[in-house]
Structure 1
C-alpha cells in the first residue's frame, strides 16, 4: 500500500532540519491521482462500505501509530491523494500497467466516487481515515487534497459536499501545475476565493513545480497566516509536471541545480527567513 512523505513547514518532528512532516496516504498499491484511484488488492473483497471503512481506518491508525512510536510523528496527515473524483474507485483491467493506467471502475459497484449519488460513501471513507489518525493523536492536522485548482466552483462544490456530511478537516491542499491547472493568477484567484468562502480552513499547495516563487508568494499572502506552505514535486525527476531540482550524475549521485536553489534562497530572503 502506498503513502508518500513530504516535508515543508517548521514543526517538532523535524525541527532540527527546519521542516515539518506531511504523511500522504494514497490508499492504493500504486500512485493515486485523478485518473486512477485503485482499490488495494487486499481490500477488494470488501462487500459493504462499513467493511471498507473499517479496513481503511485500521490501516491508517496502524501506520500513524507506528510512526509515532518510532519518534516520527507526522505534523499533518493527508487522507487520499488528488481525490477530486473520490478515492477507492478503480480496479486493474487486462491493460493496466505498473502505474495503474487503464484501470476501470470497480464492477462490484462499491466505490468512493465523488458524485452526488455516492458522496455519502466517500464521506464515510474520509471520516474513517480521519478517525484513524485522531485515535492515535488528536492534535495531528488533517489535509484533504484535490487537484482542480483551475475550477474554483468545482473545488467549492467538493468542499461543501464534504463539510455538509460532517467531514471535519483542517487544511485544503490543491495542486498547482502550469501544465494542468493554468497560470499562477488562476491559482491565486482560487485560493483567495476559497479563503473568503471557508474562513475555518487553512490552505497548502500540495503539489507544484514551475512558478516556484509565485506559488510560495500566494501562500504567504493568504490572510491570517492561513497559507501553510508548499510541497514541491518532483525533486529528482523531470516530466510533464516540470523540471527536477537535482540532476543525476554518472555513478548515480544527484547534484543540486544551483539556479533552482538560488531562487529558493532569494525567496527565503524576501520573506525575512
Structure 2
C-alpha cells in the first residue's frame, strides 16, 4: 500500500455514516485493516505493530439508562457509533465477578457492550477485575464466591475455569474479545481477603500461580474457540511497572502478549518524557507491546453536578491548562510520546462518564464529567475526540 492509500483510508474513517448497515460494517473493517497496514507501509514500523487508540466505555450503558443523551453538533447519536466514527479502534470494558451493589459491569452488561462495540467495527479489550468491586492498587479483594477457598491451587483452578468459561460464553454469541486483561492495576497481590497498603510485599509464588491461571484460561478458551485474544497484564503508574515485571518474570509469569500501564499525572512521580522512556525499556527488555491503557486529563475544573470530581487542580501539568485545548494537547503529546518510544497505543478513561440522574456511592451525577469528551452545553462531543484521528509521526525503522 502506498502512502497516498494510507492517507485516504485514515481520512475516510471519520466520514463513515453512523448508520449500522452491513455495508458500513464492511467498510469500517476494511479501513481498520488499512489503518493497521499504514503503520507498516507509511510509518516504517515492524509488521506486527498495530496502533490502538481507544476508550474505556464501561459506563455507557449505565449512563444511557440514567438519562444521558450523547450529541455531536446537536445531533443525538449512539455513543458507540460516535467513537467509531471519530476514529477509535478499541473499546475497553471492565468485568466484575458477581457484584451485589450494581447491575453494571456484569457479564450481561459487558455482553451488550461488546455487541454494540463490535457491530460498528471496534475491537474490544475485556478487563477481568477478579473482584466484585473496583480492583486497583491496594484494592484487590477476592470475590465473595471464592472467599472460602482455602488452598492456592484450588483458587488458581477457580480463576482458570471462570476465565475460560466467561470467554467461551461470549464466543458462543460471536462476541469473543480481541484482547483480555488478566487483572486490573495489579500493583499489589491479587485475590486478597481485604484491602492492603500499596507498599505491602507480594507473595510472588502465589501471585504468579494465580495470574498464570488466568492466562491459561484465556489460552484454553482460545484453543477451543479457534481464536485467542491477546493477553495483557496491567500495572498503574510507570514508576511501579519495571520492578513489578522484573519480580513477576523471575517468579514465572509467562505466555502473555501485552503490558498495560496506567498514567495519571495526579498519581505518578514520572513526567511524560520519563513515562516514554519507561515504555521503551519495557518494550525492548521483554519484547511485549506496551499500551497506556488508562489516562485522563480535565478540560475544566468546574463541575456540572453535585458529585465531586476526582481530577482537580492537583491533576494539572504546567504546560496543559484545564481547557479544551489543554486536554487535547495533553492527549496529542502523550500519544506521540508513546509512539516515539515504540509503544502500541493509548486508551482514554472514561470519556463518556457524563453527568446523569443516577447516584454513585459518593454522590449524584458523575465524578468525571470535567474530563469526559462531552461539553456542558447540550452534551455535545468536543475536541477531545481529535486525538483518535490526529496526524502522528511514526519513527523510521
TM-score (ref. length: structure 2): 0.53
CA contact (8 A) 1:208 1:232 kept: yes
SS at match of 2:253: coil
Cα distance between partner residues in 1 of 2:370 and 2:137: 18
Distance 1:261 1:29 in 2: 31
Unaligned runs of 5+ in 2: 1-55, 59-82, 92-114, 298-329, 354-365
- Name the residue aligned to 2:252: 166
CA positional deviation for 1:202:
1.0
In structure 2, distance between residues paired with 1:270 and 1:125: 39
Distance (whole Å) between structure 1 residues aligned to residue 159 and residue 152 of structure 2: 10
Partner of 2:373: 245
- d(CA) in 1 for partners of 2:369, 2:244: 24
The 1:5–1:146 alpha-carbon spacing in structure 2 relative to 1, beyond 3 Å, is same
Q: How far, CA to CA, are the matches of 1:241 and 1:54 in structure 2?
A: 40
Larger Rg: 2
TM-fit CA distance, 1:18: 4.6
Deviates more, 1:20-29 or 1:165-174: 165-174
CA deviation string 1:140-168 (max 9, x = no partner): 2110000131x1xx422211222223322
User: Could you tell me how far apart the structure 2 residues matched to 1:48 and 1:249 are?
Assistant: 55
**Which of the numbers 114, 127, 135 marks the counterpart of 2:220?**
135
Q: Residues 44-193 of structure 1 correspond to what in structure 2 (within 5 A)?
A: 44-91=147-194, 103=195, 115=201, 118-138=203-223, 139-149=228-238, 151=239, 154-168=240-254, 169-181=256-268, 182-193=270-281
Structure number with the higher helix fraction is 2
Tell me, in whole angstroms, the C-alpha distance in 2 between the residues paired with 1:132 and 1:245. 35
Structure with greater strand percent? 1
The SS at the match of 1:146 is: strand
Q: Report the alpha carbon displacement of residue 235 of structure 1 after superposing the two structures with TM.
A: 1.1
Cα separation, partners in 2 of 1:242 and 1:51, compared to 1, 3 Å: farther
1:190 and 1:220 map into 2 onto residues whose CA distance is 13
* 1:207 matched to 2:294: yes
The answer to whether the 8 A contact 1:84-1:148 is kept is no
C-alpha distance in 2, partners of 1:10/1:234?
Answer: 13
- Judging changes above 3 Å, is the alpha-carbon distance between structure 1 residues 263 and 126 closer, same or farther for their aligned structure 2 residues? closer
Range 124-133 or range 177-186, more displaced: 177-186
For 2:143 and 2:166, the matched residues in 1 are separated by 15
State the partner residue of 2:22: none
CA distance in structure 1 between the aligned counterparts of 2:376 and 2:351, rounded to whole angstroms: 11
Taking structure 1 as reference, are residues 64 and 248 closer, same or farther at Cα in structure 2, changes over 3 Å only?
Answer: farther
RMSD after superposition? 3.0
Contact 1:209 1:242 in 2 (8 A): no
**Matched position secondary structure for 1:24:** strand
